[in-house]
């Protein structure tokens, strides 16, 4: 168990980077979930004397006591059934998520959701403020916790606060729809540095601050006016595109067992000439319906022969208690069933649809087995699948079809960029990818890999924390609140 010591660096995210595993004797073991953020944090945490992570442990009810896992001190925050319904599934995932992703589905607004969002944010803020050393640094992550920076600041004006938004920040015309929009902006402006994935997100945020709050914005610097004894302060907004632990991906691609698994996968699919892959959380932002529509049409008009070309679609279960997600699953599965019914050869699918999670090794084997990956997001903060595919192809083979609405499109300019709303364009991009000569694939992959391998997640985290370090001295610990 971790002592309640004070830490120089504290990460705050909705989820702790661990999953509970129940052992045969009924005891709980914590297994770290190997996400990109954990890897990034591990690399920066190694360089500070004492680092910690504050977040929800994943099950409703009372939070477990603080504990250590893989060298990190973890501080669980409790969320009860009402918090999960109103703060997490409600305001975070049925209000903010669709609004921040271009209202692909209608955002729902309920006043009680907001109240619970505020109280849950306060719990995270208090937990972080309590474990941060004087003059320490707190890094808050993502849209579920937008009020946390200001809440921490009011309690701990002595600490440096950074905020990073993993999802897009919408244009002011859309953001203005959000009830409590000004409270959200003020919450974010409690940070010293607010980071976004794309330049357009940063500019959208600054435009909202200027238009809705009327604060002075000079290039990247917002001046938050002082009130009473509190001095005006500067907040910097910046663009920090997230990336992968490319070293870890490279190691997986060199593993003979995974190479063999990739060969086996193709064999299991009937050794088709072409394997096309989609990997997404089953989320309406990912453009899975558009992809299936294009694929169904290509099969209908005979442009693709299902005996030669198979589409593998991994659709990882996600947010299954939120209405729009249940509906999406039904629609996707109906469409896949229809397409397979119409086109699959006997004993083999035209679309191999996998509604479950795979481990990292299997995911890498899938990327290595795929001739084409389709990323057709209608809006996506970054989209790590696009980068993972590129990092998994040291053989320089394969083609990435990438939506221009994914943040990754800003960096991966060499991919076949598409507007996924244009089904004809999607169809021609898929056909072009399938017929791309090897030299052209090599050229594309070389250029994409240069971009991905030169910018790993460790340098992303370091860059953010270095900028945060540089944004001026916070108030001394004794400063009045």
Q: Are 166 and 442 in contact (CB under 8 A)?
A: no
* Residue 319 in contact with ligand GDG, rule: CB under 6 A: no
Q: From CA 114, how far away is CA 444, in angstroms rounded?
A: 46
Only one residue has tokens 């601050």, namely 209
| DSSP secondary structure, 93-145, as one string | IIIIHHHHTTTSSPPP--HHHHHHHHHHHHHHHHHHHHHEEEEEEEEEESGGG
Q: What are residue 400's DSSP bridge partners? A: 373
Residue 106: exposed, middle, or buried by beta-carbon count in 10 A (0-12, 13-18, 19+)?
exposed
* Residue 385 in contact with ligand GDG, rule: CB under 6 A: yes
Query: How many residues line the site for ligand GDG (CB under 6 A)?
Result: 19
Q: To the nearest whole angstrom, how small is the minimum distance from the Cβ of residue 167 to ligand GDG?
A: 5
* Segment 338 to 357, residues that bind ligand GDG, using CB under 6 A: 357
Which one of 57-65, 182-190, 219-227, 383-391 is the stretch in contact with ligand GDG (CB under 6 A)?
Answer: 383-391
> Given the complex with ligand GDG, which of 76 and 381 has the nearer CB atom?
381
* Residue 201 in contact with ligand GDG, rule: CB under 6 A: no
* Residue 374 in contact with ligand GDG, rule: CB under 6 A: no
* Residue 158 in contact with ligand GDG, rule: CB under 6 A: no
> Given the complex with ligand GDG, which of 310 and 312 has the nearer CB atom?
312
Q: Which stretches of 189-287 are DSSP H helices?
A: 199-208, 246-253, 256-268
* Residue 384 in contact with ligand GDG, rule: CB under 6 A: yes
Q: To the nearest whole angstrom, how small is the minimum distance from the Cβ of residue 357 to ligand GDG?
A: 4
* Residue 154 in contact with ligand GDG, rule: CB under 6 A: no
> Given the complex with ligand GDG, which of 403 and 441 has the nearer CB atom?
403
Q: From CA 258, how far away is CA 458, in angstroms rounded?
A: 24
Q: From CA 318, how far away is CA 320, in angstroms rounded?
A: 5
Q: Are 461 and 41 in contact (CB under 8 A)?
A: yes
> Given the complex with ligand GDG, which of 232 and 317 has the nearer CB atom?
317
Q: To the nearest whole angstrom, how small is the minimum distance from the Cβ of residue 279 to ligand GDG?
A: 5
> Given the complex with ligand GDG, which of 64 and 287 has the nearer CB atom?
287
3, 22, 219, 359: residue in contact with ligand GDG (rule CB under 6 A) = 359
Nearby residues of 379 by Cβ (< 8 Å), 6 or more positions away: 101, 102, 104, 168, 285, 405, 406
Binding interface with ligand GDG (CB under 6 A): 166-167, 242, 279, 281, 314, 316, 357-360, 363, 380-385, 388
């Amino acid at each position: 168990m971790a002592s309640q010591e004070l830490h120089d660096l504290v990460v705050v995210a909705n989820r702790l980077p661990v999953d509970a595993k129940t052992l045969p004797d009924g005891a709980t073991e914590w297994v770290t979930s190997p996400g990109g953020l954990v890897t990034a944090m591990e690399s920066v945490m190694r360089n500070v004397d004492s680092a910690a992570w504050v977040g929800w442990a994943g099950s409703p009810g009372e939070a477990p006591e603080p504990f250590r896992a893989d060298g990190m001190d973890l501080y669980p925050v409790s969320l009860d059934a009402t918090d999960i319904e109103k703060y997490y599934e409600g305001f975070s995932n049925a209000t903010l998520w669709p609004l921040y992703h271009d209202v692909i589905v209608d955002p729902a607004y309920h006043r009680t959701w907001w109240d619970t969002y505020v109280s849950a944010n306060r719990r995270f803020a208090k937990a972080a403020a309590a474990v941060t050393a004087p003059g320490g640094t707190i890094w808050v992550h993502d849209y579920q916790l937008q009020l946390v920076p200001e809440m921490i600041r009011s309690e701990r004006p002595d600490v440096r606060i950074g905020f990073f938004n993993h999802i897009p920040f919408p244009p002011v015309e859309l953001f203005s729809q959000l009830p409590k929009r000004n409270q959200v902006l003020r919450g974010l402006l409690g940070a010293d540095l607010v980071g976004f994935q794309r330049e357009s997100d940063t500019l959208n945020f600054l435009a909202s601050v200027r238009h809705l709050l009327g604060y002075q914005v000079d290039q990247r610097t917002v001046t938050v006016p002082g009130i009473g004894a509190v001095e005006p302060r500067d907040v910097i907004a910046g663009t920090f595109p997230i990336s992968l632990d490319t070293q870890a991906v490279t190691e997986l691609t060199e593993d003979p067992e995974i190479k063999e698994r990739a060969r086996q996968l193709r064999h299991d699919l009937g050794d088709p000439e072409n394997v096309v892959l989609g990997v997404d959380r089953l989320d309406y932002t990912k453009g899975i319906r558009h992809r299936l529509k294009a694929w169904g049409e290509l099969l209908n008009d005979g442009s693709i022969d299902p005996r030669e070309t198979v589409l593998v679609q991994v659709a990882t279960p996600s947010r299954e208690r939120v209405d729009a997600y249940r509906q999406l699953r039904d629609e996707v599965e109906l469409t896949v069933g229809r397409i397979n019914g119409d086109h699959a050869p006997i004993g083999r699918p035209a679309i191999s649809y996998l509604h479950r999670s795979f481990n990292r090794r299997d995911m890498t084997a899938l990327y290595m087995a795929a001739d084409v990956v389709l990323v057709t997001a209608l809006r996506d903060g970054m989209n790590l699948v696009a980068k993972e595919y590129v990092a998994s192809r040291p053989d320089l083979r394969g083609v990435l079809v990438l939506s221009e609405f994914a943040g990754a499109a800003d960096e991966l300019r060499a991919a076949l960029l598409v507007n996924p709303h244009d089904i004809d364009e999607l169809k021609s991009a898929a056909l072009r990818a399938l017929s791309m000569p090897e030299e052209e694939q090599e050229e594309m992959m070389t250029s994409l890999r240069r971009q991905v391998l030169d910018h790993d997640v460790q340098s992303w985290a370091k860059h953010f924390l270095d900028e945060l370090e540089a944004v001026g001295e916070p108030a001394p610990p004794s400063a009045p609140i």
